[in-house]
Amino acid sequence: MAKKDDRISFTLKCTECGEENYLTSKNKKKNPERLEQKKYCNVCRKVTLHREKKK
């Protein structure tokens, strides 16, 4: 069985308006770098770059 403590949950923050829109998780051992994804922002009303929020 896989351990549960390898995965961390965090929020994705819009780079244009700063709104925190998405809650997601990742494996911190396999992906130590910060996550960047293009996703839809409700405030900007368009697809923008979302980055992992600093803790």
Kindly report the pTM of this predicted structure: 0.81
18: left (phi over 0), alpha (psi -120 to 50) or beta: left
* pLDDT number for residue 6: 83
Question: Judging by beta carbons within 10 Å of its beta carbon (0-12, 13-18, 19+), is residue 12 exposed, middle or buried?
Answer: buried
The structural domains of the chain, ordered by start, are: 7-52 (2.20.28.120)
User: What does the block give as tokens for 47?
Assistant: 């697809």
* pLDDT number for residue 7: 87
Query: Mind listing the pLDDT tens digit for each residue in 7-48?
Result: 899 999 999 999 999 999 999 899 999 999 999 999 999 999
* pLDDT number for residue 2: 65
* pLDDT number for residue 1: 62
Is residue 3 pLDDT above 70, yes or no? no
